Structure 1
Amino acid sequence: MTGLLRRLHAVLDEFNAAYPWDHNAYYHRWILRQLPPRFGRALDAGSGSGDLARLLAGRADRVCGIDIDPVITARARELTDPAAPVVFTVGDVLTDTPAGPYDVVTCVAAVHHMPLAEALTCFRDLLAPGGTLVVVGLYRAHDPIDVLLDGVSVVLNPLIGWVRHRGRRAPRPVSMTAVTTPATMTFAEIVAEARRVLPRARLRRRLLWRYTLVWRKP
């Protein structure tokens, strides 16, 4: 059985490499639905190649994207219309972010690289009263619900990739070139930590190895 599973994983890996797609970008439209139609300043923490920051710019007066990787940040600048109200900064989100307040703070697949409580405290303090924080994060599978969601995601992942590319092989998206590390906290640990810092935050496990957090500052 172990040999069969290895062969199955190898086939899935080969298929996913032929039809790659960005799991984080899958949630961008969902993120926009959590936000007001128009807002002033927005911060995208861990902005990567800038896909979400550019979407936010369609609603914001000003967007700041910050990422610790200078290579992917340079690529974000290349991909962005100079007339767009977006500035990309290289730096540590926790220490180098331009001062707030921000009406919107987003963070996608980056918060697991930081101390969670410190990161959420930083985002909370950067938000203006009435502002919205939206996080899409990664968590470590731990309980039967995680196993079930992982199983569904394993099946959906190649299917979505094939449908998105209409059955044609495609290059790896620029947004997927950044180096990432596995998550270490379980969903239960994340919920407990988040609600200590952000009372009444809404957290949900999602498909494709992600969870979401939405919080509005009083």
Structure 2
Amino acid sequence: MRTSLPRVIRALEQFHATHPWDHNAHYHRWILRRLPRRFDRALDVGSGSGDLARLLASRAGAVHGIDADPTIVDRARELTDPAAPVTFTVGDALREVPPGPYDVITCVATIHHMPFGDALTCFRRHLARGGTLVVVGVYRRQSWSDHLIDAVAVAANVAMAWIKNRGRRAPRPVSMTAPVRPATMTFADIVRDAHQALPGARLRRRLFWRYTLVWHRH
């Protein structure tokens, strides 16, 4: 068993290298289902190649994406129709966000790059009354339930990769080229700090090594 485990891990890594798919983009449609059909202004923090920002633009009067990586911001601009109501800027999301308020703020796989409590406080400050904040984040696995979800996620990940790529080798998506930083907070830490900053926030662990946070400002 001990000798077979490394072989299984290597086999999975090889499979994912030849059949990559974007775990974050998997949640984009889920995010849209948490939002109104129409809203005025939206902010996408850590906008990357702009996939989510462009989806938000189908419902919003204006969408602003901000990301710290100049290269990925240039790519987002190249991929976006100039007529779309979307703008992208390079900057620090905690210091250089264009003035709100925003009816919708989204943040996918980015908040673990920031001081967590400071980020939530910043988002709260920029969110309009009646607005919605949606965060999809990553957490450091610690509890037995974390590892149980991991076990399910590994099998589901292989199945999804096969389905999305139709069994063929696939290029690495543009959205997956950004630098990756491991999460340092456990899910319990995240829940505790989130409830301090955003009373009433709803958090849940998800498949594919993610959690979600949804908060409505009253």
TM-score range, shorter chain: over 0.9
> Identity of aligned pairs, percent?
66
Q: What's the counterpart of residue 125 of structure 1? A: 125
Partners of 1:10 and 1:123 in 2: how far apart? Answer: 40
Q: What's the counterpart of residue 175 of structure 1? A: 175
Partners of 1:3 and 1:69 in 2: how far apart? Answer: 41
Query: Matched residue of 2:65: which SS?
Result: strand
Give the 4+ runs in structure 1 shifted more than 2 A.
none
Q: What's the counterpart of residue 216 of structure 1? A: 216
Partners of 2:3 and 2:174 in 1: how far apart? Answer: 33
Gaps of at least 5 residues in structure 1 are none
Equivalent residue runs for 1:42-61 within 5 Å: 42-61=42-61
After superposition, give the CA deviation of every residue in 1:103-141 in whole Å (9 maximum; x if it has no partner): 000000000000000000000000010000000000011
Partners of 2:131 and 2:201 in 1: how far apart? Answer: 13
After TM superposition, the score normalised by the length of structure 1 is 0.99
Partners of 2:172 and 2:161 in 1: how far apart? Answer: 11
Partners of 1:91 and 1:168 in 2: how far apart? Answer: 37
Residue 73 in structure 1 maps to residue 73 in structure 2: yes
Partners of 1:66 and 1:100 in 2: how far apart? Answer: 13
Q: What's the counterpart of residue 163 of structure 2? A: 163
Equivalent residue runs for 1:24-173 within 5 Å: 24-173=24-173
What's the offset of the Cα at 1:18? 1.1
Partners of 2:21 and 2:86 in 1: how far apart? Answer: 24
What's the offset of the Cα at 1:76? 0.5
What's the offset of the Cα at 1:168? 1.1
Partners of 1:37 and 1:3 in 2: how far apart? Answer: 53
Query: Matched residue of 1:94: which SS?
Result: coil
What's the offset of the Cα at 1:7? 1.0
Partners of 2:42 and 2:186 in 1: how far apart? Answer: 29
Partners of 2:38 and 2:21 in 1: how far apart? Answer: 29
Partners of 1:32 and 1:97 in 2: how far apart? Answer: 22
Q: What's the counterpart of residue 207 of structure 2? A: 207
Gaps of at least 5 residues in structure 2 are none
Matched letter for residue 216 of structure 1: H
Matched letter for residue 184 of structure 1: T
